[in-house]
Structure 1
């Protein structure tokens, strides 16, 4: 078993106080089902890329309270000895249903469904949200950036701006799943097998007597992987001319300059000038790398203005998931079934009412292989062409499943009896999945501005169950 890197104390205090209360009431062993989902697609977009499942499953499989953990909880002086004794043998022994990592997912559909005793399924809420929320958000941001780059390569180098060491590792892993296939983070390279790449800092140039000497020294050390940062003093007047000098000297010794990096100024204009200068000098193979607060919108603008960038180094705005609708995925974890009965959270806002009971997530696929809509239905419900389906946020909007649409289940059981039941594929396979699925979305779904909204619907049976439960709650109130 691969041991979890997470402590059992990676939780909010209220998970423990609720667990202690359930224990006191004799409710802790009753069966419960929770759904983990998000209500709004991140970055004002139309999709998300699911990530974080493998570390989440290892957390569940390795969940243990150590003696040090128990000593700390005892020191808080709020928990009874019998409850602390119960925690000593506490394990997750339940079932988890989820899509594969790299699957394109949408608001209001369950990502993880967690089934187990109330104690088990409730306690893991905080850790699962912590793991899934951030990695899914980062994978989605990476996908948006990668798509904006077109044929250009994207390098993730946000470690120094990431939310701590674990954040740096998580974003490198998730970014790879989203389509960013290399990182500057050496630890992530060792940990996950991600290719590592990098250049040098301005301080390298400043440590030498002059820019040309710095370039020559770096080329001597790395003659076959030399990327020169050309904007320390003046990109056009010194940086690019000195880089051309070193390119000629490398060629004379049987090597080729790999590339130059632009880190400031008008990147579209400077990249066009750099491309012209190197092409005219007989170096069409030299790569142009750009950095400096890049994101999907900046990259889109550079390409729209005819920029000639081959590799985009994206740091802060990827590592911190910066952008409108970013910062946090907003995933939630809600009870949908308890002690054999479906459960429903009702608010005055129908859009925030939960979808009760155990559900399947079906993806409607058109004859040409493109995705049409996702349908949430009850576990034993049969859905076919012609079935009426409803918008979960506004049931007055409804339609029927068209003829010729194939319905495929996108989730599977990934943990049973507290043990992982599926082998996690390589990150490369996850990344290939996300790219392939993004290309199958309806036209307009990948736009940065005013994207097409992918349909997520609920079945007739789920609609009727939710309506019945709402009416029962109103009558009881």
Structure 2
């Protein structure tokens, strides 16, 4: 399937005006920022684009399309060709193209909804170089797709190129295949070579499982809009983050609890990422700040968190320090990276992960370990607490 790396983030829905609940007063902004860092390409949240410089993409809302009843409502009506010349009445041109498209597809010309056609035409006049059609307000095959093709071909006649379509309900995989077939048929019949490769975007409760299905079943989807399953947390409604002390006046301290996952790791620490011979990170290692850095090729005894028993012997092929000091005594001591720099760093780090850690089903847990010295300090403070 042609699904590439382009993921359209939707803070609500892909059109940015849905009703999905969002955690916190700035849920859409936070989702846009951190999803962009994590690998999403765009946001539909206009304010996030303005504040953070994230590229903004999206289509019109269903409510926009439903607000039109006929072509007579389109104002303004004319559009000048891209290369200049006399303005053209776009509603009339689109209507004539609709007749030709319906004839090609074997669809009765009275089936496409004229209010939908009017909405597409109005949008195309306002954004002739960014025209993208939302196809499922009424019926994709009988109305949305013929109307889109008519307007897109009218724009092509004036020198413009439509940038895509969006599907937002029903069987997205099957509809993407049917949509691609129609786009290719129009492109071939009307001799518009680029028409068959118009990008197809989908939305409607997209999840990781949905994307996996898109790939497995060979869909024709190029872009996905993710909203509800990104901005809300159906399986984990809250994330507990609590401030804890690890050292007071030079003395390491420990929160001791019967719940091992809530136990803190004492002392001021340095953190290292260890890489194998293939260049994949295989472990993150915490050490006390005053310990020497792990050495490449040198055997090292470590204790993996969550595992009991003897130390594990490792031999890293590369070592990268992770901890950097940006704030000291409440002051910024190093220039903070830009959002784009953070995003690039996050993507580079993710791309280095081994496939066994990245697979969607049954991924291998990524281990975090402590040095022998830090492990002994932890045991010492545990015994003192008991």
Q: TM-score range by the shorter chain?
A: 0.7 to 0.9
Check if 1:153 corresponds to 2:6: yes
Structure 1 length as normaliser, TM-score? 0.64
Seen in structure 2, the aligned counterparts of structure 1 residues 164 and 457 have a Cα distance that, compared at 3 Å, is closer
- Alignment deviations for residues 183-215 of structure 1 (CA, whole Å, 9 cap, x no partner): 111111111111112211112222222222222
Q: Give the match for residue 374 of structure 1.
A: 284
2:367 counterpart of 1:460: no
Q: 1:389 aligns with which of 280, 302, 316?
A: 302
What is the distance in 2 between the residues matched to 1:170 and 1:468? 41
Instruction: Output one character per residue of 1:20-66: Cα deviation in whole Å (capped at 9) or x when no partner.
Output: xxxxxxxxxxxxxxxxxxxxxxxxxxxxxxxxxxxxxxxxxxxxxxx
Deviation at 1:350, TM superposition (A): 3.8
The reply to whether residue 249 of structure 1 matches residue 162 of structure 2 is: no
Contact map agreement 1:444 1:451 (CA 8 A) in 2: yes
Alignment of 1:12-161 (within 5 A): 151-159=4-12, 161=20
Q: Using structure 2 for the length normalisation, give the TM-score.
A: 0.79
8 Å CA contact 1:386, 1:401 repeated in 2: yes
Structure with larger Rg: 2
- Aligned-pair CA distance for 1:165: 4.2
After TM superposition, the runs of 4+ consecutive aligned structure 1 residues lying more than 6 A away are none
Pair 253,397 (structure 1): closer, same or farther in 2 beyond 3 Å: farther
Unaligned runs of at least 5 residues, structure 2: 13-17, 70-113, 188-194
* Structure 2 CA distance for partners of 1:457 and 1:248, relative to 1, 3 Å: same
For residues 195 and 165 of structure 1, the distance between their equivalents in structure 2, rounded to whole angstroms, comes to 22
2:337 to 390, 409, 425: 425
1:307-386 equivalences in 2 (<5 Å): 307-320=219-232, 322-324=233-235, 326-382=236-292, 383-384=294-295, 385-386=298-299
5+ residue gaps, structure 1: 1-148
Q: Structure 2: how far apart are the matches of 1:332 and 1:440?
A: 30
Separation in structure 2 between the aligned mates of residue 218 and residue 179 of structure 1, nearest angstrom:
29
CA distance, structure 1, for counterparts of residue 288 and residue 145 of structure 2: 63
Return the match for 1:296 from 208, 231, 237: 208
| Equivalent pair of 1:364/1:375 in contact (CA under 8 Å) | yes
**What is the deviation of 1:407?**
2.3
Paired position in structure 2 for 1:178? 38
Greater relative contact order (CA < 8 Å, ≥ 6 in sequence)? 1
Aligned-pair distance for 1:317?
1.6
In 1, distance between residues paired with 2:196 and 2:341? 33
Distance in 2, matches of 1:184 and 1:272, equals 25
Structure 1 residue 158, shift from structure 2 partner:
1.5
Question: Separation in 2 of the partners of 1:150 and 1:230?
Answer: 19
Distance 1:323 1:405 in 2: 40
SS in 2 for 1:407: strand
What's the counterpart of residue 401 of structure 1? 314
How many residues are paired up? 324
Q: Distance in 2 between matches of 1:447 and 1:363?
A: 20
Change (3 A) 1:353 1:214: closer
Q: Which residue of 2 aligns with 1:305?
A: 217
- Cα distance between partner residues in 2 of 1:277 and 1:462: 64
| Contact 1:152-1:312 within 8 A present in 2 as well | no
Q: Go from structure 1 to structure 2 and tell me whether the alpha carbon gap of 1:456 and 1:253 turns closer, same or farther (over 3 Å shift).
A: same
> 1:130-170 CA distances to partner (integer Å, 9 max, x unpaired)?
xxxxxxxxxxxxxxxxxxx9614111121453235422222
CA contact (8 A) 1:442 1:452 kept: no
Deviation of 1:340 after TM superposition, in Å, equals 2.6
Say if 2:129 is the partner of 1:217: no
- In the TM superposition, what whole-angstrom CA distance separates every residue of 1:348-397 from its partner, at most 9, and x where no partner exists? 24443321111111111224322121111111123442221012223315
Aligned-CA RMSD value = 2.0
Displacement after TM superposition at 1:462 (Å): 0.8
